[in-house]
């Protein structure tokens, strides 16, 4: 079966703009988590959704938000982009909330 799919794979945005990233989980998986990966900070948890509800949120400003749809697909949005938001954004899905998740290939966001 298809793995976790993230779109787009690459994105270049200008400071101040906003961006929406998409994640399609593995069929049947109802939990989706998002992570930010940067060389300086490593992998950092952004938020987790299960059955359209945000269960947990990491220590990120309110500019970072997300949602999950009834088909379990998830989007994350970053508003008023800053240079420091440049990162690889990873999505992971699992049947139920937990650490045994399958990761997507990520969306590489560059803010210029």
Partner 1 sequence: AQRVTQPEKLLSVFKGAPVELKCNYSYSGSPELFWYVQYSRQRLQLLLRHISRESIKGFTADLNKGETSFHLKKPFAQEEDSAMYYCALYNTNAGKSTFGDGTTLTVKP
Given candidates 104, 107, 109, 111, which one binds partner 1 under the rule CB under 8 A? 104
Contacts of 37 (CB under 8 A, 6+ apart): 43, 44, 87, 88, 89, 90, 106
Instruction: Name which of 35 and 64 has its Cβ closer to partner 1.
Output: 35
Residue 99 is a binding residue for partner 1 (CB under 8 A):
yes
Given candidates 3, 8, 16, 84, which one binds partner 1 under the rule CB under 8 A? 3
Instruction: Name which of 15 and 55 has its Cβ closer to partner 1.
Output: 55
Region from 17-25, 61-69, 74-82, 91-99 binding partner 1, contact rule CB under 8 A: 91-99
80: nearest Cα among 65, 59, 97 = 65
Element (H, E) at 108: strand 107-111
**Phi, psi values for residue 15, rounded to 5°:** -50, 135
Cβ atoms 91, 32 nearer than 8 A: yes
Mark residues 17-56: x for contact with partner 1 by CB under 8 A, - for none: ----------------x-x------xxxx--x------xx
């Amino acid at each position: 079966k298809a793995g976790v799919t993230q779109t787009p794979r690459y994105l270049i945005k200008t400071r101040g703009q906003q961006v929406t990233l998409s994640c399609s989980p593995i069929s049947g998986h109802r939990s989706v988590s998002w992570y930010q990966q940067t060389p300086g900070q490593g992998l950092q948890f952004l938020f987790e959704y299960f059955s359209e509800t945000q269960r947990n949120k990491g220590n990120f400003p309110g500019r970072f938000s997300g949602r999950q749809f009834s088909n379990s697909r998830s989007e994350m949005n970053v508003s008023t982009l800053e240079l420091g938001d440049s990162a690889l954004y990873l999505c992971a899905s699992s049947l139920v909330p937990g650490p045994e998740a399958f990761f997507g290939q990520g969306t590489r966001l560059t803010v210029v």
